[in-house]
């Protein structure tokens, strides 16, 4: 039986408002609304009232907050106050959607709030109230990513929020940040680190006398001990948490603590006690409309009934949990529901249903945990080198044909000479005259043919010179778009760029820029095609990147905007569906001050060699361009760097190069092993050894594609 342990994080109400629901206060606020208030005072009052109402009825809270939003949109306020009140209302809407379990809408409103806060801070950087609101917003987004099982994004948000709060010296808010970080580490099964942050939160809350925060800390500590199977400690902390929750009169916290106690009794196989706590928790959750708590209780109640061999009751509760989790988009919980139903049907003798739900469980599990299947998209290449060789071969063939014709004519002359010699005695005079005439005619033909051949040769040489000059000029133009040595030296301490195009110009390119947030961004890309077509495509890709960074600073958003620009420009190419060209690209943003790397990648991976280990960070399996997935946003990842880490970005040119003793591809595995062996060497020496290794590998074979490998030491 799989018992879920719930880690509830109520960062929203803790951070935004520092008071508890009391009926007298609610009555006072309702009475105030009946007065003739100014719009700003009415909005403030509605938002405060929603905080109390959401504890007992989320639907009513939604109505109250939407009333506030309607007033904000209609009232006439100066820009500063309008932005402030709009952000406050968006915050409450995001909080209510989160409590209701509607994560996409919650994330939307918190993003809207964050944009408004950043707009205010840009004009008024000294606003500590807005800075605190923005830190809250970022942590709220972290909680949503946690619920969606995107733990790296969740940790990134919570640590960013913690940094802002520590700068504001708000101890109460710091304790809440510690607690949210502990929750994510616990889900990642790093229980010692989770306890470390929980105990920090508990210590601060106890010192400040904040019962509600103290209750949450104790509840999460108890849940953590439960996962560590230390049941006595778990019950000790959760019982203390339940007492505090009842003291402050918070239904939501009381329900979550009852749930966690039920989970412990379930793990301890005290099933009646477990069901008693689950039923009490479910009742409170249904009263509040708390969908997440409802589905957690339904699932665990179903598992308890399985353990008691009450299969009919178990099926009813587990199916209700699956239906609700699917509607909420809670992917990890949906996976657990499918596994629980598969186990139920297996135990109760229904193998067909057991197999059906087990397959759905595998699909859900793989969508969360596995790296995407390795696929390589086919690309259509316009090969300039082939065209150039074809022109040269044609000219050589024409020259050979002219020589053959000349030899053929010479053979005819010899034949006529032999015949003439035999007839010399009879018709010497006639033959001599005839031979002279023939010779003169042949001379004219040969001279005319030679003149034509010389003219064709001259035309080919001139054409070849024009093409070569054009390509060399195009190479200078393309190079002016690449990242300059000055830009790279200014922003990177130790690095190398190994750039070896197949032709003079290249579809591969490397590009860099300073973003509006001060961070340094580096792109390593492989445009569709190589040679002249690839170079033209690379210029379009670079200009699209340059346009995107005027508006965005996040790598994923930059790639999304770049893709949109490329599709818009290429759909005018005259084809029925518009051009499907673009690029594979890794876009890395470096924050060296905080030793953090943020990246988004389209087909191209990002590797980090740390010590003697290579860490591989997979890309999104789609290009920056028109594609059947071009409606899906690129994924953004953040990585905490360590000193002496070496970050590598590359295109597929070197792994795809044929060579070696058997004429096979170099392959990614061999390149990874090579980079691990070279990582401790100076960067210039690494570049030289990569170049030597590639040239030795290909030997006398032709280079099949452009090659670009970039290394940066932290």
Mean pLDDT is highest, among 40-49, 64-73, 357-366, 539-548, for 539-548
Domain boundaries in the chain?
1-169, 384-478, 482-713
Query: Which residues are CB-contacts of 446 (< 8 A; sequence separation ≥ 6)?
Result: 406, 409
The backbone torsions φ and ψ at residue 120, rounded to the nearest 5 degrees and listed phi first, read -65, -45
The backbone torsions φ and ψ at residue 707, rounded to the nearest 5 degrees and listed phi first, read -125, 130
Query: Which residues are CB-contacts of 245 (< 8 A; sequence separation ≥ 6)?
Result: 215, 219, 253, 254, 257
pLDDT tens digits for range 205-243: 999 988 888 988 998 999 899 888 888 898 899 889 888
pLDDT tens digits for range 360-373: 888 888 776 643 33
| Third-level CATH fold of 1-169 | 1.25.40
What does each C-alpha distance from 612 to 631, 643, 685, 691 come to in angstroms?
39, 14, 18, 22
- Determine the pLDDT at residue 41: 72
Length of the chain: 714
- Determine the pLDDT at residue 116: 85
**Residue 491 structure tokens:** 């922003």
Question: Buried b / exposed e across 13-50, counting CB within 10 Å, b at 16+?
Answer: bbbbeeeebeeeebeebeebeeeeeebbebbbbbbbbb
Mean pLDDT of 260-279: 90
pLDDT tens digits for range 179-196: 999 999 988 889 999 999
- Under the banding of pLDDT at 50, 70 and 90, the label for residue 374 is very low
Summary mean pLDDT of the chain: 83
- Under the banding of pLDDT at 50, 70 and 90, the label for residue 416 is confident
**Residue 507 structure tokens:** 């579809």
Task: Give dist(CA 176, CA 208) in Å, integer.
Answer: 12
Listed range (437-441, 529-533, 634-638, 656-660) with the worst mean pLDDT: 437-441
- Determine the pLDDT at residue 37: 74
Mean pLDDT of 577-598: 89
Please say if the pLDDT value at position 4 is more than 70: no
Start-end of H helices in 289-423:
291-307, 311-328, 331-347, 351-369, 384-422
- Determine the pLDDT at residue 249: 83
Task: Give dist(CA 554, CA 551) in Å, integer.
Answer: 10
Mean pLDDT of 672-676: 95
With tokens 């599990």, the residue in question is 365
| SS3 call for 585 | strand
Give one word for 625, left, alpha or beta, with left for phi > 0 and alpha for psi -120 to 50: left
Query: Which residues are CB-contacts of 8 (< 8 A; sequence separation ≥ 6)?
Result: 216, 219, 220, 252, 253, 256, 293
Please say if the pLDDT value at position 140 is more than 60: yes
pTM for the full model? 0.41
Q: Quick one: 482-713 is in which CATH superfamily?
A: PPM-type phosphatase domain (3.60.40.10)
For residues 220 and 196, is the Cβ–Cβ distance under 8 A?
no
- Determine the pLDDT at residue 384: 34
Q: Which residues pair with 524 in a beta bridge?
A: 510, 586
């Amino acid at each position: 039986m799989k018992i879920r342990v719930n880690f509830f994080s109520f960062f929203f109400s803790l951070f935004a408002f520092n008071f508890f629901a009391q009926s007298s206060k609610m009555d006072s606020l309702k009475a105030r609304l009946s007065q003739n208030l100014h719009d700003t005072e009415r909005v403030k009052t509605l938002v405060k009232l929603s905080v109390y109402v959401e504890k007992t009825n989320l639907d009513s809270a939604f109505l109250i907050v939407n009333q506030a939003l309607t007033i904000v949109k209609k009232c006439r306020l100066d820009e500063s106050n309008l932005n402030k009140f709009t952000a406050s209302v968006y915050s409450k809407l995001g909080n209510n959607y989160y409590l209701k379990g509607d994560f996409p809408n919650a994330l939307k409103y918190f993003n809207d709030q964050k944009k408004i806060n950043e707009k205010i801070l840009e004009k008024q950087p000294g606003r500590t109230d807005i800075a605190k609101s923005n830190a809250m917003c970022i942590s709220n987004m972290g909680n949503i990513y946690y619920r969606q099982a995107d733990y790296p994004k969740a940790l990134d948000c919570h640590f960013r929020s913690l940094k802002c709060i520590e700068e504001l010296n708000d101890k109460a808010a710091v304790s809440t940040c510690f607690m949210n970080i502990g929750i994510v580490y616990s889900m990642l099964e790093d229980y010692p680190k989770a306890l470390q942050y929980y105990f920090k939160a508990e210590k601060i809350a106890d010192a400040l006398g904040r019962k509600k925060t103290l209750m949450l800390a104790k509840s999460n500590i108890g849940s953590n001990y439960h996962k560590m199977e230390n049941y006595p400690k778990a019950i000790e902390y959760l019982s203390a948490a339940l007492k505090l929750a009842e003291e402050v009169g918070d239904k939501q916290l009381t329900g979550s603590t009852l749930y966690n106690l039920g989970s412990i009794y379930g793990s301890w196989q005290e099933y009646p006690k477990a069901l008693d706590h689950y039923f009490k928790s479910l009742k409170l959750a249904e009263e509040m409309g708390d969908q997440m708590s409802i589905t957690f209780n339904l699932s665990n109640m179903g598992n308890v009934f399985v353990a008691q061999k009450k299969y009919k009751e178990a099926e009813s509760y587990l199916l209700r949990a699956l239906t609700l989790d699917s509607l909420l988009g809670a992917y990890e919980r949906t996976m657990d529901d499918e596994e629980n139903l598969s186990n139920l049907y297996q135990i109760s003798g229904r193998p067909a249903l057991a197999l059906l739900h087990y397959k759905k469980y595998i699909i859900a599990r793989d969508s969360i945990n596995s790296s995407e299947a390795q696929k390589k998209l086919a690309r259509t290449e316009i090969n300039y080198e082939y065209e150039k060789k074809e022109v040269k071969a044609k000219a050589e063939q024409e020259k050979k044909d002219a020589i053959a014709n000349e030899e053929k004519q010479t053979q005819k002359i010899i034949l006529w000479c032999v015949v003439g010699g035999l007839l010399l005695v009879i018709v010497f005079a006639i033959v001599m005259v005839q031979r002279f005439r023939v010779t003169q005619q042949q001379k004219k033909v040969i001279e005319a043919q030679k003149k034509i051949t010389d003219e064709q040769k001259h035309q080919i040489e001139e054409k070849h010179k024009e093409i070569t000059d054009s390509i060399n000029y195009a190479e200078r133009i393309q190079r002016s778009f690449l990242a300059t040595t000055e830009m790279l030296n200014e922003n990177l301490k130790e690095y190398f760029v190994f750039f070896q195009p197949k032709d003079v110009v290249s579809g591969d390119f490397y590009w860099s820029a300073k973003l509006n947030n001060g961070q340094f961004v580096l792109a390593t890309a492989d445009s569709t095609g190589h040679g002249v077509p690839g170079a033209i495509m690379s210029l379009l890709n670079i200009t699209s990147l340059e346009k995107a960074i005027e508006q965005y600073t996040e790598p994923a958003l930059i790639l999304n905007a770049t893709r949109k620009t490329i599709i818009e420009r290429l759909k005018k190419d005259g084809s029925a569906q518009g051009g499907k060209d673009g690029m594979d690209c890794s876009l890395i943003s470096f924050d060296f001050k905080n030793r953090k790397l943020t990246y988004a990648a389209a087909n191209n991976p990002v590797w980090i060699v740390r010590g003697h280990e290579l860490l591989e960070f997979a890309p999104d399996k789609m290009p920056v361009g028109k594609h059947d997935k071009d409606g899906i946003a690129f994924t953004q990842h953040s990585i905490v760097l360590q000193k002496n880490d070496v970050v590598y970005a590359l295109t597929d040119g070197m792994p795809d190069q044929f060579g070696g003793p058997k004429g096979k591809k170099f392959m990614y595995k061999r390149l990874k092993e090579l980079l691990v062996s070279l990582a401790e060497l100076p960067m210039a020496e690494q570049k030289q050894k990569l170049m030597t290794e590639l040239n030795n590998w290909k030997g006398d074979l032709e280079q099949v594609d452009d090659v670009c490998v970039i290394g940066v030491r932290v």
